[in-house]
Amino acid sequence: MTKDTEIDMKEVELNEVDPEKQPMTGDGQAAGEKNGSVKLKVPDDEVAFTGLSKEELMKVAGTPGWVRARWVLLILFWLGWVGMLAGAIVIIVKAPPCKPIPEMNWWNEGPLYQISDLEAFSDGLEGVEPKLDNMNQLKVKGLIIGPLHRVQKDQPSTLSLKVLDPTLGTETALLSLVERAHKKGISVILDLTPNYKASSLWFSSGDEADVIEKVKEGAEYWLKLGVDGIKVSDVTVPARSPDWSKLQAAVQGNRTEDSDTKNKLLMGVATGISAPEVSLLANTSGIDLLLSDTLTSQKAALERLKTMDLLSAQKLQLGWGVGAAQSEQLTKEATAPGLVRLYQLLLFTMPGTPVFTYGDEIGLTAEGNTSPKMVWDVDQEPAEGSVNETAEAVRKERVDTRKWFKTLSDLRGKERSLLHGDFYKLEGSDASLSYLRLWDQSERYITVANFGSATETVSLKPQVAEGVELPEQAKVKLSTDAELEPDTMVDLNKIQLKPGQGVLLQFPYVA
């Protein structure tokens, strides 16, 4: 057999398919195809792109056209960058500067809550501590406790400001309360009014120097133990004494501009004096916070508005309350339905620190001259089948009043215009008043209140003062009047309020 014949025979053998490897379909195999082979048809004109070589790229990059293009793109990039930088600088320069925030202390940041009768509030001093969570929900910044010290009525020799009356509580309970309150961001103010069991709060006129010295020693003692401030009533008496500066130094003496420690509060209460006298006392006494009764001593709404306007420049030194100056509940003044919430609206939006007596957050009513027992179960619904309709209506009103209080307290703490903003009086009458609160570029707020017994229509003028104008409409933020629903728009030239109702309106800052 020749060599060519051997090659042909091998090809025949290779083309023969092993029976075991034949397809099971039995269709056979297409003619001219070998088992296991796949035919691919590659286009004859397909060319693979390999890109330019390094030498070719360098050659193209050096051409005059590409050089000019690169320079143009580079110049455009830097011009764009410089333009954006210049634009940012122009915006910063032309934007109105932010008004510096006034120096504020903790007693300016939220409401103060006074507990003068511990027995009625919580069955004694030890019962106050478990109620701190409740105070925290109200965004209270300070508790005014007492007086707690030992003294016999009109007997200055028995005055002992460093010792607590054992029937009211113990020093251990007080210090525990202070420590727990601090953990919740609440400060504690101790009322050191000397002769608090009598009408003459500083004893007789000849005892002033000795009494002030004892108050000073008591203040130093309690402040050293962690109390955050002291309060004295009828402050006009010690403030005119030459020894008043000693008490000031005991409370305010450790303050420095570089100190990071919390300032101690010297708080005073003055009743029965006019608005100009309040202004003079605040300016000359060096007191940190002065609480007066000027808001309730004036009955006409317009006179109240004028008082706010007169004292607005001293807002960080002034405390406002309805009954608080006499340690009485708000309901003693707010006797008509709905007035409790109206006065709460007023106190939280006025220029100054709101001061409340315990129970004001639920509209607690005093009976006679005795302190009312605090009610703590307003959220607890009565058992099914034991509903007293009258009692249930009172409970629901207290729940709604507390929600309103919390909403106002929270809003005041967040909005700069309400916290420390400027005050502008708007329109007023014997029954109604309105005013504007604004701060720099923050949201603006208008309070309108009707204390009368008939529906009032208040029309606000667009021009308030130089550089201060009102829009045509404002949005309802909060309202005690059901017909003025939140987020609805109100025409400022015609605001209608029912008797004993109030509304807080909001409009934005416009550059």
114-152, pLDDT tens digit by residue? 999 999 999 999 999 999 999 999 999 999 999 999 999
Side chain identity, residue 202: W
Confidence class of residue 42 from pLDDT cuts 50, 70 and 90?
low
| Most confident residue range from 166-170, 414-418, 463-467 | 414-418
Tell me the C-alpha distance between 504 and 252, whole Å. Answer: 37
Residue of 255, 218, 206, 217 whose CA lies nearest to 105: 255
Question: How many other C-beta atoms lie within 10 A of the C-beta of residue 144?
Answer: 27
Whether domain 107-252+263-414 has CATH 3.40.50.2000: the reply is no
Return the sign of the alpha-carbon dihedral for residues 141, 139, 507, 497. negative
pLDDT value of residue 419: 95
In the 8-state DSSP scheme, what is residue 318? E
436 CB-side CA count, 13 A: 24
Residue of 331, 406, 315, 402 whose CA lies nearest to 108: 315
Confidence class of residue 15 from pLDDT cuts 50, 70 and 90?
very low
pLDDT value of residue 46: 56
pLDDT at 219 over 80: yes
Tokens, residue 331: 């309901």
Q: Give the DSSP H/E element, type plus range, for residue 155.
A: strand 155-164
- Write out the DSSP string of 114-144: EES-HHHHHSSGGGTGGGHHHHHHTT--EEE
Query: Is the bond into 238 cis (omega within 30 degrees of 0)?
Result: no
pLDDT at 52 over 70: no
Tokens, residue 247: 């008490």
Tell me the C-alpha distance between 230 and 16, whole Å. Answer: 114
Given a contact cutoff of 8 angstroms between Cβ atoms, the answer to whether 340 and 331 are in contact is: yes
Tell me the C-alpha distance between 221 and 232, whole Å. Answer: 16
Tokens, residue 275: 């608005």
145-189, pLDDT tens digit by residue? 999 999 999 999 999 999 999 999 999 999 999 999 999 999 999
Tokens, residue 263: 């300032």
344-388, pLDDT tens digit by residue? 999 999 999 999 999 999 999 987 788 999 999 898 888 777 778
Tell me the C-alpha distance between 452 and 300, whole Å. Answer: 9
Residue of 457, 452, 458, 456 whose CA lies nearest to 434: 458
472-498, pLDDT tens digit by residue? 999 999 999 989 999 999 999 999 999
Between 256 and 104, residue with greater pLDDT: 104
Tell me the C-alpha distance between 175 and 128, whole Å. Answer: 12
Given a contact cutoff of 8 angstroms between Cβ atoms, the answer to whether 177 and 188 are in contact is: yes
Given a contact cutoff of 8 angstroms between Cβ atoms, the answer to whether 472 and 481 are in contact is: no
φ and ψ of 462, to 5 deg: -65, -40
Side chain identity, residue 493: N
Given a contact cutoff of 8 angstroms between Cβ atoms, the answer to whether 352 and 339 are in contact is: no
Given a contact cutoff of 8 angstroms between Cβ atoms, the answer to whether 328 and 355 are in contact is: no
| 107-252+263-414 and 424-507: identical CATH topology | no
Tokens, residue 248: 């000031």
Contacts of residue 122, defined as CB under 8 A and 6 or more positions apart, other chains included, come to 115, 128, 130, 131, 374
pLDDT at 431 over 80: yes
pLDDT value of residue 389: 86
pLDDT at 28 over 50: no
pLDDT value of residue 438: 96
Alpha helices in 338-459 (DSSP H): 339-349, 389-414, 416-420
Assign domain 424-507 to a CATH class.
mainly beta
Tell me the C-alpha distance between 489 and 154, whole Å. Answer: 59
Average pLDDT, the chain: 88
Strand, helix or coil for residue 320: strand
Tell me the C-alpha distance between 247 and 314, whole Å. Answer: 22
Surface-to-core class of residue 68, CB atoms within 10 Å of its CB (0-12 exposed, 13-18 middle, 19+ buried): exposed
Confidence class of residue 271 from pLDDT cuts 50, 70 and 90?
very high
pLDDT value of residue 191: 97
In the 8-state DSSP scheme, what is residue 367? B
pLDDT value of residue 66: 77
Residue of 411, 419, 412, 406 whose CA lies nearest to 137: 406
Alpha helices in 231-300 (DSSP H): 236-239, 244-252, 275-285, 294-297
pLDDT value of residue 21: 47
pLDDT at 195 over 50: yes
Q: Give the DSSP H/E element, type plus range, for residue 230.
A: strand 229-232
Between 25 and 373, residue with greater pLDDT: 373
Given a contact cutoff of 8 angstroms between Cβ atoms, the answer to whether 193 and 201 are in contact is: yes
Tokens, residue 349: 């939006």
CA angle 285, 288, 290 (to 5 degrees): 75
pLDDT at 50 over 60: yes
pLDDT value of residue 2: 45
Question: How many other C-beta atoms lie within 10 A of the C-beta of residue 349?
Answer: 25
Domain residue extents for the chain = 107-252+263-414, 424-507
Contacts of residue 307, defined as CB under 8 A and 6 or more positions apart, other chains included, come to 275, 294, 295, 298
